[in-house]
Amino acid sequence: MPNREAPLQSQLADSDRHGAEPGFGLVSPATGLANDYLNVFNEMILVLEFLPSMPEMTDEVLAWRPRGYREYFQHSPLPGAREAARRYEKVDPTLRARFESLLNRLNDIALLAQSRVVQEMNGPNFPESIAEPCEATAEAMRAGLAYVARLINEGPIGAHPTKRSEGTKTPSKKQRKPSHG
């Protein structure tokens, strides 16, 4: 019977010899950033979605705190987490600034949701009173996370030419229909 752990053991041994953790594909080669960090926000989305039907999750919503990228990976048990934290220092400064700006916006959205829960939690209509705000917040955070995930995986939007499928051509100016409006 083949030893299925041999490749993993080999990779671990190689990383030990070189003094680094194995990356296990945690960090995107395109940007030097890792998607796993987005779980910080996915946790909040999950509890916000359940909160209207499970008010006992109020404490989880209120306990959520923003965590920085480095902090997340410095405390993560994932293989390659320390390496992800180290590589963050080498991320293109413009990309890192954009990434952090987007994360700050997601943190703001989550913190506003917490404030709304605090305002409503002792009211007579709780948890029904927060159903729509929780849904809207989760939707906004999901849209933001999709954008951030694309940034992590591909780099800044517009930095790479888009690939068109064969046979798809952009119409010339003469072929385009004029817009009315």
Q: What percent of the chain has pLDDT over 70?
A: 73
CB atoms within 10 A of CB 168: 7
Which SS3 state, helix, strand or coil, does residue 155 take?
coil
- Residue 51, pLDDT above cutoff 90: yes
- Residue 62, pLDDT above cutoff 90: yes
Cα–Cα distances in Å, from 112 out to 9, 51, 72, 104? 45, 15, 21, 12
Phi and psi, residue 4, nearest 5°: -75, -20
pLDDT digits (tens, 9 = 90+) for 92-125: 999 999 999 999 999 999 999 999 999 999 999 9
Q: Quick one: pLDDT at residue 159?
A: 56
Residue 50 buriedness (CB in 10 A; 0-12 / 13-18 / 19+)? middle
pTM: 0.74
pLDDT digits (tens, 9 = 90+) for 162-176: 443 333 343 444 444
Phi and psi, residue 121, nearest 5°: -65, -25
Which stretches does DSSP call E strand in the chain? none
Please state the domain extents for the chain: 21-154
Cβ atoms of 28 and 35 closer than 8 Å: yes
- Residue 21, pLDDT above cutoff 70: no
pLDDT digits (tens, 9 = 90+) for 117-153: 999 999 999 999 999 999 999 999 999 999 999 999 9
